[in-house]
Amino acid sequence: MDSKKYLDDISQIKDLMNRSSRFISLSGLSGILAGLYAITGAMVAYLFLLPQDDGYVVLHGWNFRLIVGILITVAILSFVTAYLLTT
């Protein structure tokens, strides 16, 4: 009777491990694409801010809004790509 209980416990542990490994597995391609999105966003931000003579970013200026917009776009693209390539 005890061996039956041990086998049930082992099968439950195996099921938990399978579920947790499925939850954290991301596609390698999604990580590469997220990196490419980040590099592209950094290049776009750099090219738009390069002609600036100020040398600083003001919180209420257009350049700060541009940086935040690029940040949000890169984050959304990364999450959508990870979701689509993982499921």
pTM of the model: 0.65
**Coil, strand, or helix at residue 35?**
helix
Determine the residue type at 83: Y
Residue 23 C-alpha from the chain's centroid: 14
What is the per-residue pLDDT across 16-58, written as a single tens digit (0 to 9) for each?
A: 877 765 555 677 888 899 999 999 999 998 888 877 766 676 7
The residue with greater pLDDT, 44 or 6, is 44
Give the pLDDT confidence score for residue 33 in this predicted structure. Answer: 92
Residue 82's alpha-carbon distances to 4, 43, 62, 69, in angstroms, are: 41, 22, 30, 20
Percent of the chain with pLDDT over 90: 31
